[in-house]
Amino acid sequence: MTATKEWLDAQYDARAQVDDADAIIADWLARSDALRREHPALTIRYGDDPRQAADVYSPAPGGGTSPLVVFVHGGYWQALDKETFGFLAEPFLTAGAVFASLDYRLVPDVAIAEVIADVRAGIAELARRAPDLGAQATDIGLVGHSAGGHLVAAAMATDWAEHDLPADTVGPVVGISGLYDLEPIRRSYLNDVLAMSEQDAHAAGPVHMAPTGPGPLLLTCGGDEPGEFDRQQRLLVDAWPGVPTDVLAQDGGNHFDACERLALPGPLRDLAVPMLVRG
């Protein structure tokens, strides 16, 4: 039976499933502000729009070249920003990596195809600037939450030669509560703002893209999230059989917990940080 719009609306309304979503996001921002006081961020721009930028956090100087990890935030391509997620840098800095929180232009100011282009351009600029940041320019680790999971998957299916970069620009990728098939999104309330056609949704869906990055790929979502989020990641596993992929089942946790656990002791951090901070 085809899912109804009402059912899809309920499945994908992440905020409605969490009573204190606004308070959680406010706490993330406060924690990020606190981290920036200890580790001031360097802002790297990759375009003329104020949102075409990344905040780069660097570990204590060690005299070598550090792995580079890029985080892409969610917000259903319509909301949130790089500043809110600075707190996620802490475990990566401790592990000796350079951490970048990447921003992008939002819908409805631009279409989803342009959001994807922004993220690719932002990663490309960070790769080009990596030597100046004390970071590796290849095998860059990517991690994204929600719409950010969609965006890092799209980045994993990028012809980096079009950006004058080598094929191994992107390495390991972690998708948290990601959205990889956009057709159910198109059929939900979210499309009131996203305004995707059927063709738009197909073209922007990673399940319809050919991966160019070698992986590995780690996918996860909160154990208490609606079933669509697990189905989304299973679809990507099926669509990309050549990519070495693990699916981490989280013990409980909502859409927000699923992301926050990246910075907390537990299975997600224990798997994701060493996977992304390699080399």
Confidence of residue 105 (pLDDT cuts 50, 70, 90): very high
- The ranges assigned to domains in the chain are 5-276
Q: Which helix (H) or strand (E) holds 7?
A: helix 5-12
Checking if the pLDDT of 79 tops 50, the result is yes
Question: What is the pLDDT at residue 1?
Answer: 44
Amino acid at 4: T
Residue 26 CB neighbour total at 10 angstroms = 12
Checking if the pLDDT of 159 tops 80, the result is yes
Query: What does the pLDDT average to over 209-228?
Result: 96
- Cis amide prior to 108 (ω within 30 degrees): yes
The CA distance from 170 to 123, in Å, is 9
Predicted TM-score of the model (pTM)? 0.97
Checking if the pLDDT of 62 tops 70, the result is no
Checking if the pLDDT of 72 tops 70, the result is yes
Is there a contact between 215 and 245 (Cβ–Cβ < 8 Å)?
Answer: yes
> For the CA atoms of 170, 57, 246, 274, what is the dihedral angle to 10 degrees?
100
The CA distance from 218 to 174, in Å, is 5
Angle formed at CA 84 by CA 93 and CA 178, multiple of 5 degrees: 85
18-54 per-position pLDDT tens digit: 888 999 999 999 999 999 999 999 999 999 999 999 9
Nearest to 173 by CA among 137, 201, 145: 145
Question: What is the pLDDT at residue 211?
Answer: 97
Nearest to 157 by CA among 38, 54, 243, 42: 243
The whole-chain average pLDDT of the chain stands at: 95
Question: What is the pLDDT at residue 278?
Answer: 81
Question: What is the pLDDT at residue 109?
Answer: 98
First to last CA, the chain: 47
Which residues lie below 8 Å from residue 184, measured CB to CB, with a gap of 6+?
3, 8, 11, 12, 228
Q: How far, in Å, are 43, 83, 116, 162, 177 from residue 138 at the CA level?
A: 20, 25, 20, 15, 26
Question: What is the pLDDT at residue 2?
Answer: 77
Is there a contact between 135 and 82 (Cβ–Cβ < 8 Å)?
Answer: no
Question: What is the pLDDT at residue 33?
Answer: 96
3-class DSSP state of 250: coil
Percent above pLDDT 90 for the chain: 93
185-209 per-position pLDDT tens digit: 999 999 999 999 999 999 999 999 9
Checking if the pLDDT of 60 tops 50, the result is yes
Confidence of residue 266 (pLDDT cuts 50, 70, 90): very high
Query: What does the pLDDT average to over 217-246?
Result: 97
Checking if the pLDDT of 10 tops 90, the result is yes
> Domain 5-276 carries which CATH code?
3.40.50.1820
